[in-house]
Amino acid sequence: MRILIDADACPVKDEAIKIASFYKMKAIIISTIDHFSSKTYNSDLVETIYIEPGADAVDYHILSIAKKGDIIITQDYGLASLLFSKYRVIHHSGMLYTEYNIEQLLFERHLGQKMRKAGLRTVGPNKFSQTDRKKFMYNLEKLIEDGEQ
């Protein structure tokens, strides 16, 4: 069991790594070189992979390396829709992607894209909060513990 992190805009990398380390799991941070960070982690359980920039390059890499039992952290609804039936997928806000919410999320994304193309302004996501961070940490630990049973 590993944690794969779609890291380009992920505000919970450190929390995910801390939790992965606690459970002695490998955490793989996947990002484009556009988001290069000199931050290092003092653990053999953390691996950072940089991908050349390109449309959905990180998504394709995650799809190519995901294995049974993995947990994927992403805010990308499209990527989540390709993964949730085989893997456990969680948003950085702590929301779990499921068959019950993915269609609505994709529909809302589609509507937002149509509105922006038409020149209309759309409201972005709410500011990431401490409540979101705590919910993420709680649900990530729950996913790990449920997977160990």
Summarize pLDDT for 28-70 with one digit per residue, the tens: 999 999 888 888 887 889 999 999 988 889 999 999 999 999 9
Model confidence at 104: pLDDT above 80? no
For 14-25, what is the mean pLDDT?
95
The pLDDT value given to residue 45? 94
Q: Is residue 117 part of a domain?
A: no
The boundaries of the domain holding residue 90 are 2-98+129-148
The pLDDT value given to residue 66? 96
Q: Is residue 48 part of a domain?
A: yes
Q: What mean pLDDT, rounded, does the chain reach?
A: 88
Q: Is residue 137 part of a domain?
A: yes
End-to-end, the C-alpha distance of the chain in Å comes to 12
Q: Is residue 83 part of a domain?
A: yes
Q: Is residue 30 part of a domain?
A: yes
Q: Is residue 141 part of a domain?
A: yes
Structural domains of the chain, count: 1
Q: Is residue 124 part of a domain?
A: no
Farthest-apart Cα atoms in the chain, separation: 50
Q: Is residue 113 part of a domain?
A: no
The pLDDT value given to residue 143? 94
Quickly state the pLDDT bin for 84 (edges 50, 70, 90).
confident
> Which residue type, as a one-letter code, is found at position 42?
N
CATH code assigned at 52: 3.40.50
